[in-house]
Amino acid sequence: MLGVGRAGPCLDPSAAPATGPSWRQGPEPAERDAWAILASVPGLGPLTFAALLTRFGSARAVVEIARGPGGRAAFAGLPASSGTDRPLLGPDVLDRLVGAATGGEAFLARTRELGLEILTLEDAIYPARLRAIEMPPPVLFVRGDPAALSLSHAVAVVGTRRPSDAGRRIAARISAAIARLGALVVSGLAVGIDGAAHAAAVAEAGRTVAVLGGGHGHVFPRAHARLSDEIVGQGGVVVSELAPEMEPMPWTFPRRNRVISGLSDATIVVEAGARSGALITANWALEQGRECFLVPGSLDAPASSGCLAFLRDYAGVARIVAGVPELLEDLGLVAAGPGRIPNGVRTAPRLWSSPVGLLAELGATERLVAEALIGGRATVDELVEVTDLPVASVLGVLTLLEMRGLVAGAYGRYQPAGRLAAVEPRAVRRSVRAGSRPRAATPPG
């Protein structure tokens, strides 16, 4: 892992700067700007970045020499390593370095025009999860609150750009449940599963991180420009390791996927075809020592073929998504229930799910009615009284819960059924149990 101090770069994880109260703890502004200029040079990767800092002592020194009259000559003779004649910088990369250094002020002006923060490996608030991967990006260009990258729990939700309607709904349900529990939803802002994941988190007033496949000056797809604004407006982040004017290219998306998994404790693939880029994110997650979950699908569904093949190829490592409440337990976002025994093996058959996980899976209005039912309200009039919802909304929610097997009704009275029947009254909000009138949620539709 690349950590850079006054003595130059090293590969010791303990060299990472300690987290402090301000994200501005780190290099001086001029040094931070120089890091950004170096990061904008196509073809200059983390190892070469580190080698330059070792040789010249700081990014600022590299940039000043590169823009000086003898800059090209100063770099031309540098070997890639001792005992080799191979140059550290090829002719093309050297030309780009000199060009980036010469045009550095215009580059920095564009960065600020886009409202971007420059986050380097020397900054205290560089996300620890990403710092822990092999060769983390030296620089991140961040739009939004950098602190959001370091929330205590972060889960990536990714998948195909051509999802089925069911896949889109599942991605939204998973992301909404994660967001309701206060965890960060990470994805790639692409159309399809990624967009559904971000939108669901935003709808739940949760925070989400969108990792771009290009620079901030070329948000892709353009249709998600408004979604990216909503993400930032709600305290989330749009982030890229690529310079603002870098256009998305085929090779930039695998790089993006490495950052998605690196920012996350676990990666969930909802739908993925046999050659889906989401499987690259899953591979990166396993390489980085993170958990990886895949939603199984029909044997005949092209959008599930990649997930099924991955589960087969990585049996015992990749994990199956057996349900949203079960997934929330497996992610450690809610406590496991009595279906788990100390050695981690589930009892069979599994008839119980975490009540917190089940309630988190429900929408706001559904949850309000479900909690009232658990609290002992049984008639429509009682449910209207305790929830402050219109009669039509209560009837609509009851129909939806009945269709999911969570409510049973007979002779005008309703009671929890299925998994909802296992939820104990003490698991619901005190206001509902006590009979007070909580503020009504927005009715569906």
75 C-beta neighbours (distance < 10 Å), count: 21
- Torsion from C-alpha of 15, 20, 23, 25, nearest 10 degrees: -60
Q: What is the pLDDT of residue 34?
A: 96
pTM for this model (two decimals): 0.74
Under 8 Å between Cβ of 154 and 201: no
Task: Retrieve residue 162's tokens.
Answer: 């051509």
CATH code of residue 396 = 1.10.10.10
- Residues 368 and 233 grouped into a single domain: no
- Residues 308 and 190 grouped into a single domain: yes
Query: Alpha carbon of 162 to those of 172, 194, 292: distances in Å?
Result: 15, 10, 21
Give the phi and the psi of residue 292 in degrees, each rounded to 5: -140, 130
Q: Is residue 139 part of a domain?
A: no
Task: Retrieve residue 131's tokens.
Answer: 């710092």
Angle of helix 391-403 relative to helix 364-374, nearest 10 degrees? 80
- Residues 428 and 375 grouped into a single domain: yes
- Residues 187 and 315 grouped into a single domain: yes
Dihedral of alpha carbons 153, 22, 246, 38, sign: negative
CATH code of residue 206 = 3.40.50.450
pLDDT in tens, 144-157: 999 999 999 999 99
pLDDT in tens, 167-214: 999 999 999 999 999 999 999 999 999 999 999 999 888 999 999 999
Helices (H) and strands (E) in the chain, counts: 19, 13
Q: Is residue 208 part of a domain?
A: yes
Would you give the DSSP letter of residue 346?
A: B
**Is the bond leading into 349 cis (omega within 30 degrees of zero)?**
yes
- Which residues does residue 113 pair with via DSSP β-bridges, in sequence order? none
Q: What is the pLDDT of residue 353?
A: 46
**Domain range for residue 391?**
362-434
Number of domains present in the structure of the chain: 3
CA distance 227 to 444: 21
Q: Is residue 297 part of a domain?
A: yes
CA distance 304 to 98: 47
- Residues 217 and 314 grouped into a single domain: yes
- Residues 286 and 392 grouped into a single domain: no
- Residues 150 and 107 grouped into a single domain: no
Q: Is residue 133 part of a domain?
A: no
- Residues 288 and 222 grouped into a single domain: yes
Q: Is residue 84 part of a domain?
A: no
Task: Retrieve residue 269's tokens.
Answer: 């693939």
The string of DSSP letters for 118-140 reads: EEETTSTTS-HHHHTSSS--SEE
Under 8 Å between Cβ of 55 and 9: no
Closest CA to 363 of 337, 385, 389: 389
Which ranges of the chain have pLDDT less than 70?
Answer: 1-24, 82-83, 335-357, 422, 424, 426-445
Q: Is residue 307 part of a domain?
A: yes
